[in-house]
């Protein structure tokens, strides 16, 4: 297991290194001069040249990248060209709101996905199974922004149950979290349903039923537990995806998370913010993947961590 952990950490470092290269060089392909954006179009050539030299933007890209990574190792992600604040401070100010939204959305996804998956497997090939499968197909087919607008129109505009946007309280969190959860629940539901159908056909399940055990006990204690490994993997990946993929939902609901920060940085050509958010979320995504792999041994001790592929 120790060797497995070391291999996973090393592979994670390589992935993060690749993300840093991709984000650094990609942002330089974005049209627009960040120095002129900061100073305004009426700035003199001398002012532009002075600020360009101060920011190190007149150096070769490889030199800029090397200096950037040295600073990152020291916890310095640079300074925002727009606000003048440290990039890491900007990210840490917004990250808790993104975590709040992603975790609540994942909770909705797990509740919906596992419940519908177990229900569909329990009544396999019945109208309940077909209905749950249809709902899962519908959920994965609906664009998240369309569902978000629909929920706003129904529950905010018509029924006035929730505020439309521009808040961070619990009631402001419900609609964006439900939007994320409904879309993310489809994969969990399908995986749970297929795994449960396979497990419920095993001999030990028939033996448990022959002993007179209740269906609820059989479903959740004996069957669901054996389906948890792939489900937990998907849940972990969904959490990582939600943390890095809430840009559209944050924009629709005006949620002050990392998504709106990154989108604003792209609009204003704020290179340090773009690089910092991409690299930061890359580290978060890789870390969550490693933790999910380590969870295997706690869910099922039969899994030999040392023999898993790194």
pLDDT in tens, 161-206: 887 766 667 888 888 889 888 888 888 888 888 888 888 777 777 7
State the pTM of this model. Answer: 0.79
In this predicted structure, the answer to whether residue 308 has a pLDDT above a threshold of 50 is no
Residue 142 near residue 135, CB atoms below 8 Å: no
Would you give the distance in Å from CA 130 to the centre of its chain?
29
Give the pLDDT of residue 107. 93
In this predicted structure, the answer to whether residue 310 has a pLDDT above a threshold of 60 is no
Name the band, by pLDDT with cuts 50, 70 and 90, for residue 1.
low
CATH topology of domain 87-258: MetI-like fold (1.10.3720)
For residue 86, what are the β-bridge partners?
Answer: 79
In this predicted structure, the answer to whether residue 301 has a pLDDT above a threshold of 60 is no
Mean pLDDT of 133-159: 85
Residue 33 vs residue 201, higher pLDDT: 201
Q: Which of 174, 179, 149 is nearest to 163 (CA)?
A: 174
pLDDT in tens, 103-144: 999 999 999 998 898 888 888 888 988 998 888 888 878 888
pLDDT in tens, 229-278: 778 778 887 888 888 777 888 888 888 888 888 888 887 778 888 888 88
In this predicted structure, the answer to whether residue 14 has a pLDDT above a threshold of 80 is yes
Residue with tokens 């040249």: 49
Q: What are the structural domain ranges in the chain?
A: 1-82+268-310, 87-258
For residue 79, what are the β-bridge partners?
Answer: 86
Helix then strand then coil, in percent of the chain rounded to 5, is 75, 0, 20
In this predicted structure, the answer to whether residue 34 has a pLDDT above a threshold of 70 is no
In this predicted structure, the answer to whether residue 305 has a pLDDT above a threshold of 50 is no
Name the band, by pLDDT with cuts 50, 70 and 90, for residue 299.
low
**Residue-wise burial string across 217-244, b where 16 or more C-beta atoms lie within 10 A, e elsewhere:** ebbeebbbebbbeebbbbbbbbbbbbbb
pLDDT in tens, 53-108: 777 777 888 888 888 888 888 888 888 877 888 989 999 999 998 899 999 999 99
């Amino acid at each position: 297991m120790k060797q497995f952990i070391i291999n996973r950490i090393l592979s994670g470092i390589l992935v993060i290194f690749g993300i840093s290269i991709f984000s650094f060089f990609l942002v330089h392909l974005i049209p627009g001069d960040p120095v002129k954006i900061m100073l305004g179009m009426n700035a003199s050539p001398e002012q532009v040249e002075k600020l360009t030299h101060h920011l190190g933007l007149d150096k070769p890209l490889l030199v800029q990248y090397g200096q950037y990574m040295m600073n990152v190792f020291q916890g310095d992600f640079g300074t925002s060209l727009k606000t003048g604040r440290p990039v890491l401070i900007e990210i840490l100010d917004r990250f808790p709101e993104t975590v709040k939204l992603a975790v609540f959305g994942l909770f909705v996804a797990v509740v919906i996905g596992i419940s519908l998956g177990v229900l569909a497997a329990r009544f396999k090939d019945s109208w309940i199974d077909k209905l749950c499968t249809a709902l899962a197909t519908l959920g994965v087919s609906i664009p998240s922004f369309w569902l978000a607008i629909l929920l706003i129109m129904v529950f905010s505009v018509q029924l006035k149950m929730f505020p439309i946007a521009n808040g961070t309280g619990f009631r402001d969190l419900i609609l964006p979290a439900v939007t994320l959860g409904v879309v993310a629940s489809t994969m969990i539901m399908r995986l749970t349903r297929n795994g449960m159908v396979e497990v419920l056909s095993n001999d030990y399940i028939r033996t448990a039923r022959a002993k007179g055990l209740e269906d609820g006990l059989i479903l959740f204690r004996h069957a669901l537990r054996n389906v948890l490994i792939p489900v937990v993997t998907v849940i972990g990946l969904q959490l990582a995806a939600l943390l890095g993929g809430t840009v559209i939902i944050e924009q629709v609901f005006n949620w002050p998370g990392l998504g709106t920060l990154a989108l604003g940085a792209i609009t204003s050509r704020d290179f340090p913010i773009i690089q910092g958010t991409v690299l930061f979320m890359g580290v978060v995504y890789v870390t969550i993947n490693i933790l999910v792999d380590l969870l295997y041994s706690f869910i099922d001790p039969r899994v030999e961590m040392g023999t898993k592929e790194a």
